[in-house]
Amino acid sequence: MPQLIEIYRLSQSLFYICSMTELNIIWFRRDLRVHDHAALASACAAGGQIVPLFIFEPNYWQRADTSERQFEFAVESLADLDRALRQRGSQLCLRSGVVTEVLSRLHAQHGIASLHFHSLGNTPAEAEQDRQVRTWALKVGIPLREHTGIQHSISPHSDWDTAWRRHMRKPRIAAPAALPPLSIPSEGWPIASDFGLESDGCPNRQTGGRTNAILQLRWFLSGGGRNAGKANLSITACEATASRLSAHLTMGSVSEREVWQAAMKAQAALVTDGDETFATALHRFTEKLAKRSRRVQASARVSLTDTSLLPVDIHNREEASLADPRLSAWTNGKTGFPLLDASMRCLQATGHLESSLRSLLLSFATCHLWLGPVRPAQVLAQLCTDFAPAMYYVSASQVIGLSKAAPAYIPNPVRQSLSRDPDGAFIRKWIPEIAELPDQYLHAPWEAPKSALSAHGIILGQSYPMPLVDHVAAAREAKRRLSPDGASRPLPFHSIARKPLGIRRSTIGRNMTAKRSGHSPIQLSFDLQSQA
């Protein structure tokens, strides 16, 4: 009898081994596309059963700087990816949980032949996760194909710009024409409340997904970006010409290389066409792309704390509680400074705000109000649909005076209001309670005579708040506390002054033909494909 039992156990083990499907896992992360995807191409080259896997990680979505708007944008991006996979015969395999635990269960149930993914490693948590996955794969003997990308493969001392452009010029990787059917079941789609994310009301949020990313890019390159990056534009003019691609790049619905090559192709056509204005704008745009990628690389070399992703505040600012009236007024756009309040309300309603205004908000909270930086940084992060932890916190640490690269940035909110929104269009759009004020009082309502206020039914402290602080005195005190000599310089990539970028004429203006009399959008095939 014992021999029969042993034979039965052996037969069951052999049956289990033979029934294992040996999966080639393509683990999607912030690369939600089928085009120009090195890890997907690697998995396809391995042959056999391919599982397009995405893991919803509770530890990430339960952080204090994530939000429902970010989750919904990610789900929309994933849904678009799923449609693309289904058109090719496959579909997304969804799981929730700790990554190594999910992989262990898949390996135990089905067998994993290889694991393919793009590494992140830009924050302590991402680097630790990548390390744990490598260790797990080595322990169980699974071949691992990790694609590092440009930001991790260039050393800090190399000619970064040259190497980055060399990478951008490489041919894009074609999407697979067909994929084998998914051979294992997928879990259902989670919802935001599964991770404790509360509704945050973002009625004008962008819609995620590659389809929308390509439409946005085509709009920008076909005329929408004509004035992008031009010096001294008002806020509303900047909004009208912004690419609005940052959230799509964050989720990887479109690759940097796809965007760069399309922009360079459009720029070359514009040079031939004689449209120097638009060509210059696209030159600035590609330079901005390079800065974005460089910032990702820089973030991987910055020491960040595991809890807040900000360096320790050496200035000992006291962290505000959620009940702190200063934090509440700042969060709800009721500081009494119109440009600040309009910026916050815009961000709450749209999930998008240009970087200089984000810096203005964060600087005011941590310098003028002297709030500890962690909570304001988290609040602002929650509101940004394009939140990417590494880049966000490296920039934030510079704004609030926690970086060796630059001193704290302490702008004058009234002066910036006059400079950036001279006609008050942005303020009037987002702060209707003071929209009827004449231009000369709109930027500093507390300076308006009572007759002007009463004529428009405005009672400061009731219909619109009085300023939280004397901004001049608060800035003076913050400078004294932050730097012994009281110096403060604008940050290199958050300069409110919006100085025009230097343009090498040899790259965009050489052999320029006569300018066209009209500026109708040129017709170009940008060689871009949606998920289809």
Output the pLDDT for position 203: 94
Residues 6 or more apart in contact with residue 415 via CB below 8 angstroms:
none
Asked if residue 256 belongs to a domain, the reply is yes
**Boundary (domain end) residue, out of 482, 498, 519:** 482
What is the domain-level CATH number for residue 261?
1.25.40.80
Q: How many domains would you assign to the chain?
A: 3
Q: What is the pLDDT of residues 137-186, one digit of tens each?
A: 999 999 999 998 655 555 555 688 888 999 999 999 999 999 999 999 99
Q: Are 359 and 494 in contact (CB under 8 A)?
A: yes
pLDDT at 526 exceeding the cut of 80: no
Asked if residue 2 belongs to a domain, the reply is no
Tell me if residue 428 falls in helix, strand or coil: helix
Residue 30, burial from CB neighbour count under 10 angstroms (0-12, 13-18, 19+): middle
- Pair 295, 336 in one domain: no
H/E segment holding residue 302: none
Asked if residue 53 belongs to a domain, the reply is yes
- Pair 348, 472 in one domain: yes
Asked if residue 199 belongs to a domain, the reply is no
Q: What is the pLDDT of residues 126-148, one digit of tens each?
A: 889 999 999 999 999 999 999 98
pLDDT at 210 exceeding the cut of 50: yes
Output the pLDDT for position 520: 40
CB atoms within 10 A of CB 527: 10
Q: What is the pLDDT of residues 403-447, one digit of tens each?
A: 776 678 899 999 999 999 999 999 999 999 999 999 999 999 999
- Domain extent, residue 297, equals 209-301
Average of per-residue pLDDT across 254-276: 97
C-alpha 318/C-alpha 365 separation (Å) is 12
The pLDDT confidence band at residue 74, using thresholds 50, 70 and 90, is very high
Output the pLDDT for position 333: 98
152 or 509: which leads in pLDDT = 152
* Tokens coding 308: 């807040």
At residue 96, φ and ψ (nearest 5 deg) are -130, 140
**Boundary (domain end) residue, out of 148, 172, 199:** 148
Average of per-residue pLDDT across 234-249: 96
Asked if residue 65 belongs to a domain, the reply is yes
152 or 246: which leads in pLDDT = 246
Give the angle 266-267-273 at the CA atoms, nearest 5°.
90
Q: Are 467 and 336 in contact (CB under 8 A)?
A: yes
- Pair 287, 398 in one domain: no
Asked if residue 112 belongs to a domain, the reply is yes
Output the pLDDT for position 21: 59
What is the domain-level CATH number for residue 50?
3.40.50.620
- Pair 251, 354 in one domain: no
Asked if residue 234 belongs to a domain, the reply is yes
- Pair 332, 245 in one domain: no
pLDDT at 233 exceeding the cut of 60: yes
Q: What is the pLDDT of residues 293-342, one digit of tens each?
A: 887 776 655 555 444 578 788 888 988 888 899 999 999 999 999 999 99
What is the domain-level CATH number for residue 394?
1.10.579.10
Across the chain, mean pLDDT equals: 86
Residues 6 or more apart in contact with residue 470 via CB below 8 angstroms:
none
- Pair 294, 353 in one domain: no
Output the pLDDT for position 245: 98
pLDDT at 529 exceeding the cut of 80: no
- Pair 356, 428 in one domain: yes
CB atoms within 10 A of CB 9: 10
- Pair 94, 130 in one domain: yes
- Pair 261, 352 in one domain: no
Output the pLDDT for position 531: 66
At residue 480, φ and ψ (nearest 5 deg) are -65, -40
Owner of token pair 């240009």? 354
**Boundary (domain end) residue, out of 245, 269, 301:** 301
- Pair 109, 235 in one domain: no
Q: Are 375 and 319 in contact (CB under 8 A)?
A: yes
Q: Are 460 and 453 in contact (CB under 8 A)?
A: yes
Burial letters 480-498, b for 16+ CB under 10 A, else e:
ebbbeeeebebbebbebeb
142 or 518: which leads in pLDDT = 142
Please tell me the least confidently modeled range out of 205-209, 292-296, 300-304, 502-506: 502-506
Tell me if residue 346 falls in helix, strand or coil: helix
Output the pLDDT for position 315: 82
321 or 68: which leads in pLDDT = 68
Please tell me the least confidently modeled range out of 63-77, 286-300, 385-399, 438-452: 286-300
Output the pLDDT for position 521: 40
Among candidate residues 34, 383, 58, 85, the one with its CA nearest the CA of residue 190: 58
C-alpha 484/C-alpha 480 separation (Å) is 6
- Pair 259, 388 in one domain: no
Asked if residue 251 belongs to a domain, the reply is yes
Average of per-residue pLDDT across 452-459: 95
- Pair 288, 334 in one domain: no
* Tokens coding 179: 């994929």
